[in-house]
Amino acid sequence: MPNSTPADKATRHDWRVEEIEALFQLPFLDLLYRAQCVHRAHFDPNQIQVSQLLSIKTGACPEDCGYCPQSARHAGEVAREPLLDVEQVVAQARAAQASGANRFCMGAAWRTPSPRDFPKVLEMVRRVGELGMESCVTLGMLTPEQARQLKAAGLDYYNHNLDTSPEFYGEVITTRTFDDRIETLHHVREAGLKVCCGGIVGMGESRRDRAGLIAALANLPVHPESVPVNRLIRVEGTPLADAADLDELEFVRTIAVARIVLPGSHVRLSAGRESMSDALQTLCFLAGANSIFSGEKLLTAGNAAPGADSDLFARLGLTLTGSGERRCAEPDRATA
C-alpha cells in the first residue's frame, strides 16, 4: 500500500495530467487512504462546511451549456423569473443561517451581469454580509471593474466553474470559451476575492478529462478556496438528458483525487446529492469532501432534504464549521 508522500503535503501548481491519471488508477482502498491522510493534514476530518444556494434570477440565459435547463437555447428551459427583490433574498439568507449554513450563495442566469440589475446584486451582497454570513455570487463573466465593485460591497467568494477539461469543453459549451472562464477568474483574484471553482462529471467525458479538469484547477496561480464537484443532473430537454450514468465509485475516485491534488481547498459535494445514498455520501466524505450545499433546492434542481443531512451528520459524528479555516496554516504558494 503506498504511503503518503511529501507531494501530498505541499501545494503544487505544476501537475501533469498523466500524474493525476495515475492517482485515478490506484487501487480504490489505497486511493481513499491516501486522500484521507491528506485531508487530515489540512482539515478537521469531522467538520463540514455548509452553504446554501439561491437562484436570484432564473432562466433566459443566452449561453448554450449542454447541462443547463436555464439556457434559452434548450427545449427544457425552466420558467423564467426576474431578479428577486433584495428583501426576499435577505429573508432567505436569514432562514439559511438559522438552519446552520454559514455561507449564502446567490446565482443569476446571465452571460454577464446586467447593468440595470447589478446595483441590486451589490445591495444583496451588502445585506447578507450584515447578517454575519459569508457571501458568494455566480453571475457569469465579469469585467475587472465589476469584480472590484463586488469586493467593495463585501463579497467573500465568486463562483465561476471551469466545468470540464480544456479538451472536452467544446463538447459541452460553444458560446464562451475555456479561456473566457480563466479570464474572469483572473479578474476575481485581482480584485482580492476568494474563488469557488470546480466542475461537473458524468457529462460523457473520459477519465482523462476528469484528470484534466483537476489539473486545470490545481495549476491556477492560487488554488480555489472552494471546489464544487457536481454529478450531472440529467434534465429533459437539455442536450445531456441522455448521458450515461457515471459509475458511483468513479465519482468517489474523483473526489479523492481532487482532495490529494488540491489539499487546502474545501471540496464540496454539490449537485446530484438528491440521488445519492447515505453510504455513497459517506464514502465521499471519507475521500475528502468537507463541504455541501444544504436546502431543498439548488438553482433549479432538487437537493437532499435538510433533515436528511442533519440525521446523516449526527450518525457520522460530523459537526458544522463556521470558520472555514484550514487545520494547518500552509500557504497556497509553495511548490514541490
Dump the DSSP string for 38-97.
HHHHHS-TTEEEEEEEEEEEBS-B----TT-TTBTTSTTPPPPB-PPPHHHHHHHHHHHH
Question: What is residue 330's predicted lDDT score, i.e. its pLDDT?
Answer: 38
- Residue 331, classed as helix, strand or coil, is coil
Q: Which residues of 292-324 are buried (b: 16+ CB within 10 A; e: fewer)?
A: bbbbeebbbeebbebeebeebbeeeebeebeeb
pLDDT of 334? 33
Q: Cell 450514468 identifies what position?
A: 245
> Could you say which of 68, 176, 197, 253 is catalytic?
68
User: pLDDT at position 305, please?
Assistant: 63
Please give the pLDDT value at position 7: 41
Q: Which of 34, 103, 268, 273 is catalytic?
A: 268
Asked if 136 is an active-site residue, the reply is: yes
Q: Is 268 a catalytic residue?
A: yes
Give the pTM: 0.88
- Identified catalytic residue from 136, 176, 253, 259: 136
Q: Which residues contact 181 (CB under 8 A, 6 or more apart)?
A: 141, 160, 161, 162, 163
The active-site residue out of 34, 61, 231, 284 is 61
List, for residues 288-298, the tens digit of each pLDDT value.
Answer: 999 998 755 44
d(CA 215, CA 13): 9
Strands (E), the chain: 47-57, 103-108, 134-138, 157-159, 194-196, 199-201, 226-231, 266-269, 291-294, 319-321
Count of CB atoms within 10 A of residue 25's CB? 11
d(C-alpha 187, C-alpha 142), whole Å = 7
**Cα–Cα distances in Å, from 63 out to 7, 179, 231, 266?**
39, 15, 20, 28
Per the listing, cell 450545499 goes with 293
So what's the pLDDT on residue 66?
A: 84
For 10-24, the pLDDT digits (tens) are 689 999 999 999 999
The reported pLDDT for the residue numbered 6 is 41
Residue 148: active-site member: no
What does the block give as the cell for 293? 450545499
Q: Which residues of the chain have pLDDT under 50?
A: 1-7, 297-300, 302, 323-336
Q: Is residue 328 among the annotated active site residues?
A: no
Q: Radius of gyration (Cα) for the chain, nearest Å?
A: 19
Select which of 127, 176, 181, 196 is catalytic: 196
Indicate which residue of 105, 176, 210, 326 is catalytic: 105
